[in-house]
Amino acid sequence: MNIVTVNGISYNDDATRSAPSTASLDTPGFDADTLIAGLSPAELLAVQTATEKRLSAEATALLAAESDDGLLGLLDAREQAHRRAEVFDAALYIEVSDRGVYRRAGHISTHQLYAHGARLGVDEARRRRVTAEGIGAMGALTGERLEPRLAATATAVADGDAGGAHVAAVTEIMDKLPSAVTHDQRVKAEAMLADAARRLDPAAVTVVGNRILAWLDPDGTLADDHDRQRRRTFNLQPQNRQLMSKVRALLTPVLRAKLEVVLHQWATTGMNNPDDPDSPRGAADQPGLDPAVLAAAAERDTRTLGQRQHDALQALCDWALALAGQPAPTRIPSQVVVTVTDEDLARQAGIGWTATGTRIPVSDLVQFAADTIPYLAVFSQATGQILYLGRASRFATAAQRLALFARDRGCTAPGCTVPFIRTQAHHMPDWSDDGVTDIDRLGGACGRHNRMNGTTPGHWESTVLTFGPDAGRVGWRPVGRGTRWQSNIMFHPERLAPDPARVPAAGEPTADTGPPDTTDSREDTDGPRGNTRMPDVSALREVIAAPDATGPPGEHRTARPFRIVHGHWVA
């Protein structure tokens, strides 16, 4: 291999690693190894916890007594300790995963246990997984432990010279190596990256890695279609405070070529301009388009290229929705469905929620409805829709799913962020346990959480709560653990601000003291059953974008004007 030089440091193909740093503190007569010899992992963590408590409680006084050199030594030793801890954390992650311990805690994956059970969050849980996969000793099918995938990097972490961020940087570079790179070249490249991790910060390790990639594949010819297909991705990032979303994508050459052709026609200057009512809709090369009309629209068009391409994508989505076929009767339509309160709708303020989990300002929703929606359906108790099916049918109707969407907005399992469009109608109790398909015994649940519902340890039990501030909503808890019922607030952030004036009455059950069983205690009556408080379904507004697909692309039927009278849509 050639020599790679970054920031004045050279890395040869032998990748001779530097000796591990020995950040030692002056502690004469104190033998820490003897002190902790023979302790179990739990006892070692107890010692560590006691140490951290004292360091935290007396930090100011302890540090004030140190000299400048002493502080530098503490900093170095502290960081080494943090880095070495990654080795134990990786081993713990692998053991939890291999033994399926997450199921005992009522979670469906190791990732969910770390992200939501341990409250680390999705990003940190993902980082723990990446670190474990890189430096951990994974188990083989035969039971023995394998060498870490990033062997040299694992040694650097064990020495306290590299941390989790370094592992992430090395992993990213190694994943970019083309499939045609030989095993020996991969080993050498990883050793060079590990050597860089001992000396440089994670960003500089990435620079070194890019130099290695450039040397191994200088003209990009080693990458084949397998590499491109492996790395293809298209992800919508979370909405920001302005409700805007970034897109993170890596497109294959074929998709890029197709997208460029489409955008060339749909994003032509003057086409699909939402600010110009006379702007032509659809593609610029569609038959029958008057060139004079397009030229006049182009003169009025002040949008940037990025804005035109955004508007072209929106017009393409309108066209695709117009061509959508009829959905299955038990599913939410493959069209735009939004729930919004009467109050927000009347004042044209606030936020509505779509079935895909997107938040949309009500002011934009009203304009959207006026421009593209040919009909607006009222869903209320007066519509005659059947919401109680008993044992007559296992599958929820579209009317029931719309009512569930108004209440749940997404999966009801605690911490789950799966939007409602990807959920199933979950029975409580299960259909196999004589459950009924009634609206007050159903809840939205993603496929994984629906399958995790059960009656044995390692599963979750669920019920529609009839007590406390979450009455009428679905509660979950691990089977046999005696914990309180938990509802999902991910789709209901407004519930994080409880009414300060609300004080439970004497003897009133709460989420902590409520009944632990999930027995169906409804009376057998012909009217609305049970004391489950369902939200007023008259507040549900089914907003369906169904443009006429019979005309040219981009042409839609004119929406009927509407207004609100006594909380109802009136055409």
SS3 labels along 320-371: HHHCCCCCCCCCCCCCCCEECCHHHHHHCCCEEEECCCCEEEHHHHHHHHHH
Those residues whose C-beta lies under 8 Å from the C-beta of residue 491, and which sit 6 or more positions away, are: 353, 357, 408, 409, 410
**Best-predicted range by mean pLDDT among 216-230, 437-451, 493-507, 543-557?**
437-451
Q: Token digits for 310?
A: 């955004």
Confidence grade of residue 403 (pLDDT, cut at 50, 70, 90): confident
Q: Token digits for 429?
A: 């109790």
In this predicted model, which residue has the larger pLDDT, 519 or 290?
290
Beta strand 563-565 with 9-11 is unpaired
Residue 227 host element (H or E): helix 225-231
pLDDT at 509: 44
pLDDT at 365: 62
Give mean pLDDT, residues 333-351.
Answer: 59
- On the CB side of 432, how many CA atoms lie within 13 Å of its CA? 5
pLDDT at 543: 32
Confidence grade of residue 249 (pLDDT, cut at 50, 70, 90): very high
pLDDT at 343: 61
Which stretch of 183-187, 308-312, 466-470, 566-570 has the lowest confidence by average pLDDT?
566-570
| DSSP letter for each residue of 154-195 | HHHHHTTS--HHHHHHHHHHHHHS-TTS-HHHHHHHHHHHHH
Which stretch of 158-162, 443-447, 502-506 has the lowest confidence by average pLDDT?
502-506
Per residue in 510-542, pLDDT (tens digit) is 444 443 443 333 333 333 333 333 333 333 333
**Best-predicted range by mean pLDDT among 21-25, 271-275, 494-498?**
271-275
| DSSP letter for each residue of 68-135 | HHHHHHHHHHHHHHHHHHHHHHHHHHHHHHHHTHHHHTT-SSHHHIIIIIS---HHHHHHHHHHHHHH
- Distance from first CA to last CA of the chain, Å, rounded? 74
Q: Token digits for 213?
A: 């990639």
In this predicted model, which residue has the larger pLDDT, 160 or 465?
160
**Best-predicted range by mean pLDDT among 158-167, 395-404, 441-450, 541-550?**
158-167
Give mean pLDDT, residues 299-327.
Answer: 83
Whether 186 shows a pLDDT value over 50: the answer reads: yes
Q: How far apart are CA 410 and CA 298, in angstroms?
A: 42
Alpha-carbon torsion, ordered 69, 71, 74, 75, to 10 deg: -110
Cα–Cα–Cα angle for 192, 197, 202, nearest 5°? 120
Full-model pTM: 0.58
The full set of domain ranges for the chain reads 4-23+37-231, 247-322, 338-379+541-570, 398-539
pLDDT at 555: 40
Beta strand 541-543 with 474-478 is unpaired
Q: How far apart are CA 132 and CA 130, in angstroms?
A: 6
Whether 67 shows a pLDDT value over 70: the answer reads: yes
pLDDT at 272: 92
In this predicted model, which residue has the larger pLDDT, 489 or 522?
489
Q: Give me the phi and psi of 217, to 5 degrees please.
A: -140, 70
Give mean pLDDT, residues 57-75.
Answer: 88
Those residues whose C-beta lies under 8 Å from the C-beta of residue 493, and which sit 6 or more positions away, are: none
Q: Token digits for 100?
A: 């399926």
CA distances from 469 to 462, 475, 560 (A): 17, 12, 40
Coil, strand or helix: which one is 476?
strand
Q: What value does the mean pLDDT of the chain take? A: 75
Q: How far apart are CA 330 and CA 407, in angstroms?
A: 17
